[in-house]
């Protein structure tokens, strides 16, 4: 199918989207588990159920929210005793980045924020930087070249001015060579990769580099999201910030986020202590960003993890129920996964 499923933020009904996302689920699990974006309507779920049961004839179905699955996937990086379905999920793919707070397995829908910076913007920014400087890239391949450079050489730095100084003092160590092949003439071309290595992903933290309308850094957005959530859930949210999606795979992304958020939280606590004249002494905020090696496919991995538990069979909707009652059984999917 020509349209890429990842371009659609919300799943639209249609059979084309399932071929890529559910076929491997069907094969691995026997019983498919489908995913949905957080603010999906119950009618959409009914359509989904209809298509799955009628067209694909699945024996059972469970529709899970992507953010909850990403949280489940993060359990691979911690001990069994600490499993929790409360946390904020930063899902960054190719099209858009979401910050989704989840409390006890239920998404706090009114506090979700979208950030218009994602993988595609980074690629475009790198393409612009390269276009002015390197003459060797064939024009029709410039976007793919930028993408390859982004995936291979980019990382997140703690401070851009210091990185500039590092690159200037020792160019041989930091500036890399990239070799590509011209698709038409099959001759190789070489380019230097310099400042783009850290400037590309930096647009997460300084969006104004590439987007004139959006100025807020991703750490500020996350902070805002947590502050807009109910007060009793804020500390657990700070403690469990989970990354998912391909664009969070940059080296040190988690560390930089953690550092920025810790600074903001500490500054706020210090301000409250100051303004109260020393009477209020708040407990220091524990900020933790969780990264793990399945981050790129975190949603899928979480789904397959949860679907392989015995509890799954109790919560998924069976074909028998569908035949008897109809698609409305799939409107509500109960949360499961925290085993005692």
Partner 1 sequence: MPAYHSSLMVPETRLVGNMALLPVKTQFKGPARGDGVDSDIIDEAIYYFKANVFFKNYEIKNEADRTLIYVTLYISECLKKLQKCSSRSQGEKEMYTLGITNFPIPGEPGFPLNAMYAKPGNKQEDETMRAYLQQLRQETGLRLCDRVFDPQTDKPSKVSLILMIYLNFLSGVKGYLIKYMTQSAAAVAVKIVKFSRCQRKVF
Contact of 47 with 81, CB cutoff 8 Å = no
Residue span binding partner 1 (CB under 8 A) among the ranges 43-51, 64-72, 109-117, 210-218: 210-218
* 273-292 residues near partner 1, rule: CB under 8 A: 275-276, 280, 282-283, 285
136 near partner 1 (CB under 8 A):
no
Q: Which residue of 120, 259, 268, 292 would you call a contact of partner 1, by CB under 8 A?
A: 268
In angstroms, what is the minimal distance from the CB of 25 to partner 1?
40
Rounded to 5 degrees, φ, ψ at 231 are: -65, -30
Q: How far apart are CA 247 and CA 160, in angstroms?
A: 19
- Spatial CB neighbours of 184, under 8 Å, sequence gap ≥ 6: 138
Residue span binding partner 1 (CB under 8 A) among the ranges 29-37, 51-59, 74-82, 268-276: 268-276
160 near partner 1 (CB under 8 A):
yes
User: How many angstroms from the chain centroid is the CA of residue 98?
Assistant: 7
Distances (CA, A) of 301 to 28, 85, 193, 245: 12, 15, 33, 11
158 near partner 1 (CB under 8 A):
no
229 near partner 1 (CB under 8 A):
no
For 54, other C-beta atoms within 10 Å of its C-beta total 11
For partner 1, give the closer residue by CB, 253 or 336: 253
132 near partner 1 (CB under 8 A):
yes
Nearest to 324 by CA among 53, 51, 26: 53
User: 3-class SS at 98?
Assistant: strand
Q: How far apart are CA 118 and CA 98, in angstroms?
A: 10
In angstroms, what is the minimal distance from the CB of 320 to partner 1?
48
3-state secondary structure 24-70: HHHHHHCCCEEEECCCCCHHHHHHHHHHHHHHHCCCEEEEEEHHHHH
For partner 1, give the closer residue by CB, 24 or 133: 133
Q: Which residue of 165, 183, 267, 325 would you call a contact of partner 1, by CB under 8 A?
A: 165
Q: What is the DSSP string of 209-226?
A: GT-SS----HHHHHHHHH
Q: Which residue of 181, 267, 271, 325 would you call a contact of partner 1, by CB under 8 A?
A: 271
3 near partner 1 (CB under 8 A):
no
Nearest to 285 by CA among 300, 302, 301, 270: 270
For partner 1, give the closer residue by CB, 12 or 271: 271
216 near partner 1 (CB under 8 A):
yes
Interface mask (CB under 8 A) for partner 1, residues 166-205, using x and -? -xx--x--------------------x-xx---x-----x
Instruction: Write out the residues near partner 1 by the rule CB under 8 A.
Output: 132-133, 160-161, 164-165, 167-168, 171, 192, 194-195, 199, 205-209, 212, 215-217, 231, 234-235, 268-269, 271-272, 275-276, 280, 282-283, 285
């Amino acid at each position: 199918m020509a349209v890429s499923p990842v371009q659609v933020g919300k799943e639209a009904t249609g059979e084309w989207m399932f071929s890529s996302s559910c076929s491997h689920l069907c094969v691995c699990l026997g019983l498919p588990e489908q995913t949905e974006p957080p603010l999906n309507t119950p009618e959409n779920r009914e359509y989904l159920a209809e298509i799955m049961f009628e067209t694909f004839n699945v024996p059972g179905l469970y529709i899970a929210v992507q953010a909850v699955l990403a949280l489940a996937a993060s359990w691979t990086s911690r001990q069994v005793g600490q499993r929790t379905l409360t946390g904020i999920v930063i899902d960054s793919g190719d099209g858009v980045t979401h910050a989704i707070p989840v409390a006890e397995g239920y998404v706090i829908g009114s506090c979700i924020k979208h950030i218009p910076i994602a993988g595609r913007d980074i690629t475009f920014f790198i393409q612009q930087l390269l276009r002015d400087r390197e003459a060797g890239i064939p024009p029709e391949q410039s976007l793919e070249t930028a993408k390859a450079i982004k995936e291979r050489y980019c990382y997140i730095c703690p401070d851009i001015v210091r990185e500039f100084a590092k690159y200037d003092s020792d160019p041989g160590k930091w500036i890399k060579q990239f070799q590509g092949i011209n698709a038409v003439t099959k001759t190789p071309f070489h380019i230097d990769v310099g400042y783009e290595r850290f400037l590309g992903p930096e647009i997460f933290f300084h969006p104004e580099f590439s987007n004139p309308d959006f100025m807020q850094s991703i750490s500020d957005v996350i902070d805002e999201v947590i502050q807009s959530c109910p007060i009793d859930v804020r500390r657990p949210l700070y403690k469990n910030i989970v990354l998912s999606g391909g664009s969070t795979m940059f080296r040190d992304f988690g560390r930089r986020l953690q550092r920025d958020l810790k600074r903001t939280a500490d500054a706020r606590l210090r301000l409250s202590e100051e303004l109260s004249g020393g009477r209020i002494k708040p407990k220091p905020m524990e900020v933790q960003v969780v990264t793990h090696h399945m981050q790129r496919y975190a949603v899928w991995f979480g789904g397959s993890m949860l679907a392989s538990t015995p509890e799954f069979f109790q919560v998924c909707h069976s074909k028998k129920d569908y035949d008897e009652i109809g698609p409305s059984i799939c409107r509500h999917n109960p949360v499961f996964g925290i085993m005692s």
